[in-house]
Structure 1
Amino acid sequence: MVWGHSVSQDLVNWIKLEPSLSPSVPSDINSCWSGSTTILPDGKPVILYTGCDANKHQVTVLAGPKDPSDPLLREWVKPKGNPVMVPPSNVPVDCFRDPTTAWQGHDGKWRALVGAKEKDSNKGMAILYHSDDFMKWTQFHVPLLESQVTGMWECVDFYPVSITGKEGLDTSVNDSSVKHVLKTSYGGNDCYVIGTYSSETDVFSADSEFTNTAADLRYDYGNLFASKAFFDSAKNRRISWGWIMERDSNKDDIVKGWAGIMAIPREIWLEKSGKRLMQWPVEEINNLRAKNISLDSKQLEGGSILEISGITASQADIEVAFDIPDLENDTEVFDSEEVDQPTLTSAYSASVKGVYGPFGLLALASNDLSEHTAVFFRVIRRGNGYAVLMCSDESKSSLRDNIEKATLGISLDIDPRHEKISLRCLIDHSVIESYGGGGKSVITSRVYPKMAIGEEARLYVFNHGTKAVTMSSLEAWSMRKAQINSNQT
């Protein structure tokens, strides 16, 4: 395993360089695994990453640029003194990895986290380390956070978010105007908690716990894992970038010669309520927009379907919003049972007709609809209020064999009596990234259409419910192809 290296001026078009880190010293001779970069006060970047050493133990290795003046940072060196962290005695040698970006406390010392798992238990944790010089690291006496029920914590992330606005913050910022986010990857999901952190005591007080259930807050309720967030000082924003795993077979991966792709980078900030994060595709992706179509307010009767033509449906960006008229007058028709989230989602696939919903988009659809991915909403009565379910139903996404499919979903935190139900879908041949409620929830689907390919792909707006809904607006664009893995010129 090596660190591939690409550079970009816009987070969309990328030039491929030679790998930046490859196995070359005893501490990483069996692989260079995940890590993070920290920008020091003098502007010099330093990488902390996981090396698999000669004994196949996971250790933390430090690397710095050979020539800090090189704008592309093409070559990196590993100084003497590596590894700078090794697994503690209570951690298995193969469960200690993925150091975070470091931050400075009020005492000026550096801090960093490493994901781990405790021996002979299911406890996952973020081990905290201190350093005066970035070379010698000392383990803090307790983890920054831990959970008894999650297993191994991978790709841990820790950063501040403003409680007053969308702007991103340098990782070392910590005062009364911020909360902190701790994200960790386990069970195939990127889960997070929000809380308050003191660098004087190194205590992080989380507002909730990791439960390893559907109740956990997630970056994405679909197929996204092992994300990493960083502070973009040029535009004062925090950007998260995640990995979309394959859903076909290992045999398919071997034929392709690769496996896994990166999602579109997302700007990330704290919702006004302070209870969850918001996410939205970076603005630069809009530069790929080409041919555009717009539709004004249109009523969608129950059982209706409308094709959206005039764009390339296999590579598109769609923003659509729905209204539900006179919702209060139909309270008697809604399910009032109190059920848990997984039961809600599984019981309400796109094939199950309700009163208000399913309604939304049929993406990457074949002409005869034998193949499609439904990204949709459903409004139900729940308790004394209303719930808006946002789902992505992959059950008919591909006619190919050996494709893993699922019905993915989450209850979207909006009140349909007073808010539009909005959706943005970024469609890219075999990936659909869906943002609901302006970024309150995201679902990424990895699908492999067999018929709905290129010009054969179709896009539809649909309403399979018995009651009409209003499509208040729709705007869609064909998307140009990004330049990726271009060789350096």
Structure 2
Amino acid sequence: MEISGEVASSHNLNSTMYKVPQKQPYRTWYHFQPPQCWMNDPNAPMYYKGVYHFFYQHNPHAATFGEKMVWAHSVSYDLINWIHLDHAIEPSEQFDFNGCWSGSATIIPGKEKPVILYTGIDDKKHQVQNIAMPKNPSDPFLREWVKHPQNPVMTPPSGVEVDNFRDPSTAWQGKDGKWRVVIGAQNGDEGKVVLYQSEDFANWTVELKPFFASDNTGVCECPDFFPVSINSTNGVDTSVQNQSVRHVLKISYLRLHQDYYFLGKYANEDGNFTPDVKFTGTSLDLRLDYGKFYASKSFFDHAKSRRILWGWVEECDTSHDDIEKGWAGLQCIPRQVWLDESGNRLMQWPIEEIETLRDKHISIVGEKLVGGSILEISGITASQVSKLLLYFVTFFSF
């Protein structure tokens, strides 16, 4: 058993936005969370001009889920210590009058300019897809964002419910030069992922055949589609398509409130994704996590050639208690993701930067643990600790 005391990471505040409650005994210093109020889905994580960006769904007015969500924005140089900036995207137009909901970022090659696709709920309560761009791309902090004049760039197509059409993925560019993006949807009890194509990132056409579908699951939220290397633990850019990669489609099933993923083959020529197996609704299905973990979002960190995964941890109490303490929700520790040697499932491990928070190290080796016993560990004074447990179990035959 190895235990390390923790050095608190810093979450520096933009003083024009927040006042931090003084007494917060149950706030974490290890996981990302906003200074106060409600947080849920991670949105558009990316690495740009030497800075890590993290956007997230946020209700800035209360520690409960809100009807008009905004995109909050934080930046970091190391994924550990964060600076909270002003909101990136807020409801302001007819196409996002009822909230700016989840989406993703894509960095356009050549121009090296990030573009955000996000879901807006318009004044008719229809879910539509919109574009936001940085006002000043030379600013590494990307403090200001402007909305595209053609918004909305996608509206609910035929066969999709107008209030279940959301969460555009990071786009990828095919060998034909066209951009493609997938969006979560629903029609009755059928969950869908629909595929759109564009030559200029502003004018999009929908493919009539669903990119993915599953019966009796309801809406497929927060789809994430990306390649993983067959022969390396390194990550690859979202647009990579060759014989050295497999593809992953991640779905957040709202009814189950869990994140499932499917490995399979992607054919750029016809835009088809063929998963190895279908969704069964049983324990055989692959999940990213078995705890409180939802609406995950990955990105390719080209600075360290790795794919990093974020996920929302619904760390909530009763509404009354959340309001009393002033916050609800946090993010999981960022994880590096890669394909295991069998090629049949994903592997995950906390990013290496987390180890910089470790301070005093205590090691206990060779202890025999008896059922129901208590092993006291002395010498720990930190309020938070990191534990690594290795068990060797003797199996008995009867």
Q: TM-score, normalised by structure 1?
A: 0.65
Q: Which residue of 1 aligns with 2:112?
A: 43
Q: Which residue of 2 aligns with 1:227?
A: 296
Displacement after TM superposition at 1:197 (Å): 0.5
| C-alpha contact (below 8 Å) 1:149/1:212 kept by paired residues | no
1:187-202 mapped onto 2 (5 Å cutoff): 187-202=256-271
Displacement after TM superposition at 1:130 (Å): 0.2
Amino acid at match of 1:26: Q
| C-alpha contact (below 8 Å) 1:239/1:266 kept by paired residues | yes
1:90 aligns with 2:159: yes
Q: Which residue of 2 aligns with 1:7?
A: 75
Q: Unpaired segments of 5 or more residues in structure 2?
A: 1-68
Residue of 235, 241, 250 corresponding to 1:174? 241
CA RMSD of aligned residues (A): 1.3
Distance 1:34 1:235 in 2: 26
Secondary structure at the residue paired with 2:264?
Answer: strand
Distance 2:290 2:371 in 1: 28
Residue of 195, 199, 202 corresponding to 1:135? 202
TM-superposition CA deviations, 1:225-247 (whole Å, max 9, x none)? 01100000000000000101134
Q: Which residue of 2 aligns with 1:259?
A: 328
Q: Which residue of 1 aligns with 2:225?
A: 158
Distance 1:189 1:257 in 2: 26
Distance 2:90 2:370 in 1: 59
Secondary structure at the residue paired with 1:246?
Answer: coil
Secondary structure at the residue paired with 2:235?
Answer: coil
Distance 2:359 2:331 in 1: 22
| C-alpha contact (below 8 Å) 2:130/2:148 kept by paired residues | no
Distance 2:272 2:229 in 1: 19
Amino acid at match of 1:113: V
CA shift in 2, pair 1:312/1:213, >3 Å: farther
| C-alpha contact (below 8 Å) 1:184/1:191 kept by paired residues | yes
Distance 1:114 1:153 in 2: 8
Q: Which residue of 2 aligns with 1:308?
A: 377
| C-alpha contact (below 8 Å) 1:124/1:151 kept by paired residues | yes
Q: Unpaired segments of 5 or more residues in structure 1?
A: 333-489
Secondary structure at the residue paired with 2:87?
Answer: strand
| C-alpha contact (below 8 Å) 2:316/2:329 kept by paired residues | no
Distance 2:295 2:378 in 1: 36
Distance 1:93 1:51 in 2: 12
Q: Which residue of 2 aligns with 1:463?
A: none
Distance 2:302 2:360 in 1: 32
Displacement after TM superposition at 1:27 (Å): 0.8
Secondary structure at the residue paired with 1:298?
Answer: coil
By relative contact order (CA 8 Å, sep 6+), the higher-ranking structure is: 2
Q: Which residue of 2 aligns with 1:22?
A: 90
Q: Which has the larger radius of gyration?
A: 1
Distance 1:174 1:312 in 2: 50
Displacement after TM superposition at 1:305 (Å): 2.5
Distance 2:179 2:297 in 1: 19
Q: TM-score, normalised by structure 2?
A: 0.80
Distance 2:290 2:181 in 1: 28
Q: Which residue of 2 aligns with 1:367?
A: none
1:112 aligns with 2:181: yes
Q: Which residue of 1 aligns with 2:360?
A: 291
Residue of 192, 215, 228 corresponding to 1:148? 215
Secondary structure at the residue paired with 1:190?
Answer: strand
